[in-house]
Amino acid sequence: MPSGSSPRPSPADLAAAQDKTIPDLIGPGLRVLFCGINPGLWSGATGYHFARPGNRFWPALHRSGFTPRQLLPADQRELLGLGLGITNVAARTTAKAEQLTPEELRAGGRALVERVETYRPRVLAVLGIGAYRTAFGRPRTVVGPQPERIGDTRVWVLPNPSGLNAHYTLDALASEFRALREAVEA
């Protein structure tokens, strides 16, 4: 098994992961706080963000230049040293994000604002336009930088990196991540 990898969860592990939570990877002074919609069952079973093998978060993060090498989910703690963190709009794990209710997303949006106000990252990057639209009541939002801020924190919306998001290839996803990185470094 490669360094930093974790065993593949069994079907029983995945079933037991329903409605679990995993800790945020967060701290003060982050350049970017990446915010997923909610953890999937693989993440709940392993304890790592974006853990499902088909998820393109880790490859897009590397291809965009945020990381010097492609990290595995089990390497996630290395992000803090790069000024990057991970949280979620909704904390509970589900098989699909569609299992979250609009009220859960709105409540998650309010809790996310509190986390951002506490930790004050330079940029909050929400990974999933539909979740952002619901959580923040902004139905016309498009991918990219947003006009609103949370305190001094800029807000950016990126496509959902799930392998189920067929609207974006890995190259297109990495390009959106790269635009964010370049803006953060400017």
Active site residue 49: yes
Domains of the chain in start order, with CATH, are 11-185 (3.40.470.10)
Q: How far apart are CA 105 and CA 114, in angstroms?
A: 14
| Cα torsion 151, 149, 38, 174: sign | negative
Q: How far apart are CA 113 and CA 111, in angstroms?
A: 5
Residue 2 has pLDDT above 90, yes or no: no
pLDDT digits (tens, 9 = 90+) for 145-168: 999 999 999 999 999 998 777 789
Q: What's residue 6's pLDDT?
A: 58
Question: Looking at the DSSP assignment, which residues form a beta bridge with residue 124?
Answer: 33, 155
Q: What is the pairing mode between strands 32-36 and 123-127?
A: parallel
Task: Single out the catalytic residue among 38, 55, 88, 160.
Answer: 38
Residue 168 phi, psi (nearest 5): -125, 125
Q: Which amino acid is at 45?
A: A
Q: Which helix (H) or strand (E) holds 154?
A: strand 153-158
Q: Which of 107, 167, 154 is nearest to 134 (CA)?
A: 107
Task: Single out the catalytic residue among 49, 55, 88, 160.
Answer: 49
pLDDT digits (tens, 9 = 90+) for 44-84: 999 999 999 989 999 999 999 999 999 999 999 999 999 99
Q: What's residue 5's pLDDT?
A: 53
